[in-house]
Chains A and B, each alone.
Chain A
Amino acid sequence: MGATKLSGMQKQVLSLYRGFLRAARSKPTTEDRKRIETVVSTEFRKNSKEVDRKNFQYIEYLLRLGHKQLDQLKSPDMVSISSVKIN
């Protein structure tokens, strides 16, 4: 388990991640659930590696963006989310 104490911002990120996974569980089909989980987990893991821990402005910006997307996802009309990679 994490021996070091988590900072407030880290707790916020983790609670957002948990929120996404909980929203995914409420979706009708298992396929939708898996798709949401993979998209969300890849996004979070990618950002955890690429974004500097001390770049508070960018992390807060991503947190706000994530919360808005989570509110959209929670509505029962939304079935799944997807992401596209543009090179």
Chain B
Amino acid sequence: IMASGLVGRVVGTNPSRAARLIPSRWTSSKAVVGAKLKTFQIYRWNADSPGKPELQDYQLDLKDCGPMVLDALIKITNEMDPSLTFRRSCREGMCGSCAMNIDGCNGLACLTKIESESSKVTTITPLPHMFVIKDLVVDMTNFYNQYKSIEPWLKRKTPASVPGKEILQSKKDRAKLDGMYECILCACCSTSCPSYWWNPESYLGPAALLHANRWISDSRDEYTKERLEAINDEFKLYRCHTILNCARACPKGLNPGKQISHIKQLQK
């Protein structure tokens, strides 16, 4: 039954007609006795088919599925609904591709465990207040442009003390970068910040500011004063009101709010 539905959708010409063929509730094809069924409500929107975004129900047997939300999403895509679209890559919390909003909290799907209580419904939606391209895929260009705008590379005025060799850094200076270099640019923090929701184009957001602090605190970088002046702006930096949702959302356990307050301290 599933296979014929699949063929009909791939070859079909009229996308709106195919959309009506999709039943509103999907169940795993293996209806085994003793299966632990859990319902997932996943945000669906396709630009080509008419209509508003909807939450579609999918039922999965948790005994037949891996522990993480990403495992559930992959299983749904492989077995039930191949049109479900989402980003994913490393499946181990290193790339930051699978960032999405799971049960109201931003996080990485590959690191978020499925709540084993099968009576509760898990709601999966894309990162909040971002333009949606399709289903769970959001437009990250503004986020990346803001990261680019802080010039995240080493800038020096004087050449290295030994030309062609590494610029040396003490262990103490290297320890200053801990808590900032681990950032994977997943955008969980920026998209959890209400201040970023209301001013996405002018406020840089916790992720970009964390990286700005990473370069400001780097002992090898010689443009510290210029970097601080570049972000010393009413909107770029001072939209932060220490809401600290960013620290709560970060899947790597970083604290962007702390780094932002460090920048504010350095600004005289």
Binding site for A on B (CB under 8 A): 13, 47, 50, 52, 131, 139, 141
Is the Cβ of B47 less than 8 Å from the Cβ of A58?
yes
Bound-state CA distance A57–B50 (Å) is 10
How extensive is the interface on chain A, given as a class? Answer: under 10
Is the Cβ of A64 less than 8 Å from the Cβ of B131?
yes
Closest to B13 in A: A87
Which residues of A lie under 8 Å from residue B52 when comparing CB positions? 57
Given contacts A61-B131, A64-B139, A87-B13, 8 further A-B contacts (CB under 8 A): A55-B50, A57-B52, A58-B47, A58-B50, A61-B47, A62-B47, A64-B131, A68-B141
Which residues of A lie under 8 Å from residue B141 when comparing CB positions? 68
Binding site for B on A (CB under 8 A): 55, 57-58, 61-62, 64, 68, 87
Which residues of A lie under 8 Å from residue B47 when comparing CB positions? 58, 61-62
| Most interface-central of A55, A57, A62 (chain B CB within 10 A) | A57
Bound-state CA distance A64–B52 (Å) is 18
Closest to B141 in A: A68
Closest to A58 in B: B47
Which residues of A lie under 8 Å from residue B131 when comparing CB positions? 61, 64
- Closest Cβ of chain B to A69, distance in Å, is 12
Closest to B49 in A: A58
- Closest Cβ of chain B to A36, distance in Å, is 22
Bound-state CA distance A86–B80 (Å) is 26
5 A–B contacts from the bound complex (CB under 8 Å): A55-B50, A57-B52, A61-B47, A64-B139, A68-B141
Bound-state CA distance A87–B141 (Å) is 31
Closest to B131 in A: A64
Bound-state CA distance A80–B139 (Å) is 25
- Closest Cβ of chain A to B93, distance in Å, is 29
- Closest Cβ of chain B to A41, distance in Å, is 22
Bound-state CA distance A87–B15 (Å) is 12
Which residues of B lie under 8 Å from residue A68 when comparing CB positions? 141
Which residues of B lie under 8 Å from residue A57 when comparing CB positions? 52
Which residues of B lie under 8 Å from residue A61 when comparing CB positions? 47, 131
Which residues of A lie under 8 Å from residue B139 when comparing CB positions? 64
